[in-house]
Homo-oligomer: A and B are copies of this chain.
């Protein structure tokens, strides 16, 4: 089967992302190539660990690592400083050293927390990402953004800390719930809109995208490799989000508002991004920056994955507009929007008329039947 290796080039701490079916069972050997100590702490949640914990620990031990593990309850609501404190306690109990390594085996929540713990334990130890959700594979696991939520906002507490390696095994997606698969597809579509016209067109050509079972292994490898390449390209050009990297937040400005106002429960991250892309696309069309037919093609693709496209009916346009002011991307008090100009290309602007924003938000709130 096809496999891909993609490099993230950075001034310091460059690293490789391997995408290869069956690679999970080779994790130990893969880590042996890195210059790291013998102690590794695997971080996961019980659902993932039940599926893949034993094989992962065995692979690490067979390669000569001293492996221990720490489980965090599943779900965004556990992405808190309190969970990090428990992880510190496990690190202390197992006497992790500066040369030791945390391994994140899980989705974005596990990856973000493990990375943040690695960034802040002993002033920074190694970490490796083994993403198990589509969303984490194409987005969260790459680029070194780590963090936890503050009661008042997502990822407000965090650090940049690059992994030493990212290992993606597409076969683990077979145990991913369908809703999680669709959530990951939101980020894949995002790369099509902001960066990769060909990826967008390959997705358009697919008959169905609402479940992994309609995606053949070749298309899956293309989806993963092109998405990861897009992310790696952008991060290599702008590691710390001084400029360009902000385009990765396409759909996320509104998306974060929808997520936080619904308590991170009703709508998951990918669904929020899908909704955010619909709103951002219609905003760009309303501002005559984007052809309405291209916005329509984007929305049709989002619908084809089975993602929601409308803001939940209990939210108001005003509440969402207000929530944007707490966004990390606010600069000199102004909210920055990422808006498409063509499929494969976006622009960054803080010059959005509040009335037009209000109107577009209003139009995209789900009507109660």
List the B side residues contacting A121 at CB < 8 Å.
Answer: 156-157
Asked if A88 is an interface residue, CB under 8 A from chain B, the answer is: yes
User: Is A99 a contact of B158 with CB atoms below 8 Å?
Assistant: no
Q: Mark A85-111, 1 if CB is under 8 A from B, else 0.
A: 100100010010111000000000000
User: Is B331 a contact of A97 with CB atoms below 8 Å?
Assistant: yes
Given that A11-B11, A158-B120, A240-B124 are contacting pairs, would A92 and B150 also be in contact in the complex, using a CB cutoff of 8 Å? yes
List the B side residues contacting A85 at CB < 8 Å.
Answer: 81
25 A-B contacts, Cβ less than 8 Å apart? A11-B11, A11-B12, A12-B12, A37-B332, A38-B332, A81-B81, A95-B326, A95-B330, A97-B331, A97-B332, A98-B241, A98-B328, A120-B159, A121-B156, A121-B157, A122-B156, A122-B328, A123-B145, A123-B146, A123-B147, A123-B155, A123-B158, A123-B160, A124-B159, A124-B240
| Docked pose: A123 CA to B144 CA in angstroms | 10
Asked if A119 is an interface residue, CB under 8 A from chain B, the answer is: yes
| Docked pose: A156 CA to B150 CA in angstroms | 22
Given that A37-B332, A99-B331, A331-B98 are contacting pairs, would A88 and B156 also be in contact in the complex, using a CB cutoff of 8 Å? yes
Q: How many A residues are at the interface, by size bracket?
A: 35 or more
Asked if A325 is an interface residue, CB under 8 A from chain B, the answer is: yes
Additional A-B contact list (15), CB under 8 Å, known A98-B241, A122-B158, A123-B160? A37-B332, A88-B150, A92-B150, A92-B156, A95-B326, A97-B331, A97-B332, A98-B328, A98-B329, A98-B331, A99-B331, A121-B157, A122-B156, A123-B147, A124-B159
| Docked pose: A173 CA to B14 CA in angstroms | 44
Q: Mark A103-145, 1 if CB is under 8 A from B, else 0.
A: 0000000000000100111111000000000000000000001
User: Is A159 a contact of B119 with CB atoms below 8 Å?
Assistant: yes
List the B side residues contacting A122 at CB < 8 Å.
Answer: 156, 158, 328
Asked if A217 is an interface residue, CB under 8 A from chain B, the answer is: no
Min Cβ gap A12→B in Å is: 6
Asked if A367 is an interface residue, CB under 8 A from chain B, the answer is: no
Given that A160-B124, A240-B124 are contacting pairs, would A152 and B328 also be in contact in the complex, using a CB cutoff of 8 Å? no
Asked if A153 is an interface residue, CB under 8 A from chain B, the answer is: yes
Interface residues of A in 316-340 (CB under 8 A from B): 325-326, 328-333
Q: Mark A27-55, 1 if CB is under 8 A from B, else 0.
A: 00000000001100000000000000000
Q: Which residue of chain B has its CB nearest to the CB of A123?
A: B158
| Docked pose: A329 CA to B124 CA in angstroms | 13
User: Is B325 a contact of A95 with CB atoms below 8 Å?
Assistant: yes
Q: Mark A153-167, 1 if CB is under 8 A from B, else 0.
A: 101111110000000
| Docked pose: A146 CA to B152 CA in angstroms | 25
Given that A11-B12, A81-B85, A152-B92 are contacting pairs, would A157 and B332 also be in contact in the complex, using a CB cutoff of 8 Å? no
